[in-house]
Every structure is written in C-alpha cells, then in structure tokens.
Chain A
Amino acid sequence: MDSNAILTVKNLNVSFDGDHILRDLDFSVSKGDVLAIVGPNGAGKSVLFRTLLGLIPYSGEIEWIKDLKISYVPQKFSIDRELPLSTEEFLKFKKKSMADIVNVLKSVGIGSEHKNDSDHYMKHVKQHVLNQRLGWLSGGQLQRVLIAWALLDDPDVLLFDEPTAGIDVGGEETIYNLLKKLHGERNLTMLLISHDLNIVYKYANNVLCINKEMICYGVPATVLDPTSLAKLYGGEAGFYQHDHHGSR
C-alpha cells in the first residue's frame, strides 16, 4: 500500500444482530488528505466513523499508524437550552489551559471582529461565549465551539460527521472555508461525512461513496459518474437510466 498511508482499511465488515451494515470496504487515507464520505441516509456512514474510532466491533482490518491523535466531532446534536453548563466548562473537560482555549477559539473564528485588541477580545469572548450556557449558542457558534473542542488536543486527524447539519446555507460555506483553512494551517488529515456533493467537489481530494457496500472510491471528478451516483442514491437510479436511454 501507499507508504504515506496513515489509515488502511481492508475488507471491513460490520453487522448488528446478523444485519450487514457495512460490507467489504477497502480504502486508505494518506497524510494531509481530505476524504469525503458520501451516501444516502442509513448507508452506514456514521457507523463507519464509529468503527474507525474503535467503538463498534468489526471484522477485517483497520490500521492507523502509531501515535496518531484522532479527534472526532459527532453528528450535530442539540443541546438543551436548560442545560446548566457553560461553554468554558465544556471546553475545560478536554483541556484545562485557558491560554490554549483562547487560542483555539481564535483559530475557529470566534469573536474574530475583535481579534486585534486582546483585552477587548477576552472581554467579548468571555461575555458572549465562555460564560454563556452551551445550549444558548447559535447553531453556527455551537459548531465552531465543537470544532474548537476537537482541535484542543492538537489532533493529527479530524473525523467530522456532517459538519454543517442544521446550519443555514451561508453558514455552511463559512464552516467549510474554516475547515479548509484549518486543514492548511495545522497540517490536518480530515475525514468528512457530507450529503452535499458540491462540497465534495470543492473541498475533498478523495471521495468514498458507500451504501452499505463500497460503490466508488477515488478522485471526486473521476469516480462520481452518473452510474455510481445512480447506484448510490437508489431513488434517482430510474431517472438517470431513463434519461440515458431517451437521449441516445
């Protein structure tokens, strides 16, 4: 296999109570890659992440290179507005140092309008983010805080499940630009689950499409052809094939 590979997956199978969730996956991830994982609902994308993290039993081979720090942002979860937990307390569960927390908040673009005035910045961020209830943050802010959480222990690899679920269209673009920026700055390898194919073309250098089994894998512009898309999203299959026949 590729000598740069930091993750090699061979013949990966996952089943729950006899139900095959993932079947015969083979792929690898190199250092610095942005791998997008696409597929319809229930295709097993989140299960794949949890399997890669070692949270689910599997058969086959999952091989991470040694001493790799892996961070994970699970699929968007709602935080109860009533939950008595401040953003600062949440971030401190991961790392206690206030200096590190402030640095990482800056790099995910929280309070960016006050970036240059450090006194003012601290005051602003404390008042509007750190001392607020986590459940009171807006969707976009919460997502940034979750990214900050993931970055706090300086990971080498970031696994990100639907980075923009629940964020409005304008915000989506910003989050992806942020991920792109972080990818460059921190030399991160990223695995992203996404439903948005435009994003895949724009930001990922590799794509893995799964629908319980592997449907395509490679450079997005080459492998995401109508046939594999039809196979991936069963609903559109008839439409594509029909169109195909009609135009010939």
Chain B
Amino acid sequence: MLCTTSNGMDNSLILQLMTGSLIGLGAGYVGSFMVLRRMSLVGDALSHVALPGIAISLLININPFFGAFIALFLAILGIWFLEKRTELPSETLVGIFFTLSLALGLLLTPEPELMEALFGNISKITTLDLIITAGLVSVTIIVLRRISEGLMLGIISKELAQAIKIPIHKINFIFLILVAFIVALGLKVAGTLLMGSLVIMPAAAARNTSLSLSQYSRWSTLFGVLSAIGGILAARYFGIEPGPTIVLTAGVIFVLTLFFKHK
C-alpha cells in the first residue's frame, strides 16, 4: 500500500493536507484569542463536549458534524452565560461539566466508532468536507478580523470597551460561535480528545514570539498550519492516526519558541 503511487493515494493525501491546513489556520487564529482571554483550559476541554453530540448523531443517523456542533454550541452558550452573569472564573465548572460529558459520550458512542470519535479519522475526509471546511474557515477568519479590535479591548478592560460603545457581550458570543465551528470542523482530523489542544498550542507558542497583535495572529495561524501539515505527514509515515502527531508537532513548536521568548 505505502509504495503505490496511484492517483487515489496522492489525491487523498493532498485532500488531507489541504483540509488539515485550513483547520490549523482557523484553529491558530481563533485560539490566539482563546489564550488571551485566559480560556486555555476551556479551549482544551471544550472539544470533549462534542463526544455525546457525535454519539447521538450516530445513534439517530445524522452527520456527526451537526451533532458535534450542536453540543459545542450548547456548551458555549453555557460559558457565555457564565461570563456575562458573573466575574467568577468558570474553570471549575468547565472542568466538571466537560469531563462529565466525555464520560457520557464514552458510554453512548457505539463501540466501532469510538476510536474514530476520540482520535479522528482523517482517511474518511471527502472533497465535500474540504469544501465545507474552506467555507466555514473563511467565514471565521473574516468575522474574527472584524471583531478582533473589540475582543482585544474587552480583554484589556471591559469598561474601556463599553465606554466607546463596543457591544462586548455580543462580540464575545460571536467569538464563541466561531470557536464552536472550528472545533467541530477539526474533529475529523484530530478527534474529540485532542482537537482542543490544536486551538491552544499554536497560540501559546505565538505569544512567546510576538510583540504586537498583528505578529501574534500571523505566527499563531502559521504554527497552526505547520502543526497540521507536520502531523499529517508524520502520521502517514508511521501509518497511524494524525490526531496525536498533530498535537505533538504543535508541542515541539511550542518548546522551540521558548528559546525566542522576549525578555
């Protein structure tokens, strides 16, 4: 199998690399603001929520993307509500609630699909997946660019943002929806256990190397794309699923950036 040079093989690798890069791009960009908003833990655990969604989709025979997206959407609604209503760090609740949904998902997911749901299955990616990914990632990037100033000001000081009439709760909500899109899209590539870290790690690495917001966004998306490409190629080479290799690549990039950390 590995030594065939048939068109089918090459096409599927190209398809995987393209879809993976797009997801890395979106994850890097969205993740850059997750990290700034001190939502690293949330981001990391958020993808677990998708599992019961996937399980239910499989049980009632609909596209798992939709089930995952709905589950993520509900989780995000919960986070948004908490953020809006309280100043409390939501971390404990997130830790409890997200892990519970993982447990629930593990019980509900039919055995044959479990590994796939947990770690992704990139070989199943189709041209349609690529098109959907390209569309949603483009939307995410365009929308996020438009709200990025408001998000950043909200991070510096909520009051400063509100005083110049930035609709901060609305912007936060839009942002969280974008996060749900990217995480749901990435499940096929990295799986529910690991997709969250693809959102967080490139951004954490980029923060080490950047003085300004524009540098930071550029580095974060670049690291996201590199993690996806590196991970997919490594997985292909070793004949394993790419979820773990993508995350490991992101981890290596993070460690390397520590040597370039400012001050």
On A, residues with C-beta under 8 Å from B are 50, 53, 55, 71-72, 74, 77, 79, 82-86, 88-90, 93-94, 131-134, 136, 149
Contact = CB atoms under 8 A, between A and B. Distances in A.
A134 B155 CA distance: 13
B162 A85 contact: no
A63 B233 CA distance: 65
Contact of B164 (A85, A88, A94): A94
A133 B162 CA distance: 23
Interface residues on B, range: 20 to 34
A133 to B, nearest CB: 5
A79 B215 CA distance: 18
B4 interface: no
Contacts of A82: 207
Interface of B: 36, 149, 152-153, 155-157, 159-160, 162-164, 206-207, 210-216, 262-263
B157 A77 contact: yes
A79 B160 CA distance: 13
A53 B212 contact: no
Main SS at interface, chain B: helix
Given A55-B163, A94-B164, A77 B156 contact: yes
25 contacts: A53-B162, A55-B162, A72-B159, A72-B160, A74-B157, A74-B159, A74-B163, A77-B157, A79-B156, A83-B156, A84-B206, A84-B210, A84-B212, A84-B215, A85-B156, A85-B212, A86-B212, A86-B213, A89-B212, A89-B213, A89-B214, A93-B149, A93-B153, A132-B211, A133-B262
Which A-B residue pairs are the 10 nearest by beta carbons?
A84-B216, A86-B212, A74-B159, A72-B163, A84-B210, A77-B157, A85-B213, A93-B149, A89-B213, A55-B162
A94 B216 CA distance: 20
Contacts of A71: 163
Contacts of A85: 152, 156, 212-213
Given A82-B207, A84-B207, A93 B163 contact: no
A153 to B, nearest CB: 9
